[in-house]
Amino acid sequence: MNNHVFQRYEAKFLVNRQQRILLEQAFADRMAPDPYGESTICNIYYDTPDFRLIRHSLEKPIYKEKLRVRSYGPVQSSDMVFLELKKKYNGIVYKRRTSLPEHDAMDFLNGKTALEKDSQIAHEIMYFCSFYQNLEPKVHLSYDRSAYFSQIDPSFRVTFDQNIRWRQDDLSLTSRPGGESILQPGQSLCEIKAAAAIPLWLVEILNKANIRQTSFSKYGRSYQTILMDKIYRNRGIRYA
């Protein structure tokens, strides 16, 4: 297994088509496109039967955590995927992830096998699953991502996610992306990921374009839709 650790600040902004164009124009001499180009990211989020993890997260606590398995586009069972444990404490995001074949990831998440105990990351993920015990796949989330990194500091990244879609059926990374859209037409979720402060030039562009930071969770937005649909169905009203 290949293991990765990330520690950084993440700021999120909902931007329209014109605001995104303005930002990308400002990147010309400062940011470079990700060498892998644009990608479609697929995720399956795991939670307890009563959505304990996302309910806690939406309360905006000082500490929260979530577990997901991720791939870049649909995969075959032998292709590599990422098993990720994402934590946020006092505004700082800590991500632990390990790569393994999709069928091995599914066997672990279905309780059939354990992870190789050769890393701290594996121990953390197994402890997380043991602590919550009854985790199950809840939502498939996919989106098209364009990523940029700083030519001065490659750890500074800006991403744009569009066509964010979610579903509760066909919860497999071997299936094609698709589902119900979260954003309005023309919208993108812009995420700024930095180990330190956001550069002044970017702050000035954000102010000029009237782009304001927002609190936005893709999985959280999916859960809220699920919850509203349940409330309306209990009242005999179709929610759309």
pLDDT mean over 192-221 = 94
pLDDT tens for 57-99 read 999 999 999 999 999 999 999 999 999 999 999 989 999 999 9
3-state DSSP of the chain: CEEEEEEEEEEEEEECHHHHHHHHHHCCCCEEECCCCCEEEEEEEEECCCCHHHHHHHCCCCEEEEEEEEEECCCCCCCEEEEEEEEEECCEEEEEEEEEEHHHHHHHHCCCCCCCCCCHHHHHHHHHHHHHCCCEEEEEEEEEEEEEEECCCCCCEEEEEEEEEEECCCCCCCCCCCCEECCCCCCEEEEEEECCCCCHHHHHHHHHCCCCEECCCHHHHHHHHHHHHHHHHHCCCCCC
pLDDT mean over 137-146 = 98
Q: Has residue 221 got a pLDDT over 90? A: yes
pLDDT tens for 30-45 read 999 987 778 999 999 9
Q: What pLDDT sits at residue 61?
A: 95
Handedness of CA 205, 209, 214, 216 (dihedral sign): negative
pLDDT mean over 153-157 = 89
Work out the pLDDT band at 2, boundaries 50, 70, 90. low
Strand 92-101 to 188-194 pairing: unpaired
Name the average pLDDT for the chain: 92
Q: Has residue 239 got a pLDDT over 70? A: no
Q: Has residue 23 got a pLDDT over 70? A: yes
Q: Has residue 217 got a pLDDT over 80? A: yes
Q: Has residue 117 got a pLDDT over 80? A: no
pLDDT mean over 181-201 = 94
Q: Record the pTM.
A: 0.91
Q: Has residue 206 got a pLDDT over 80? A: yes
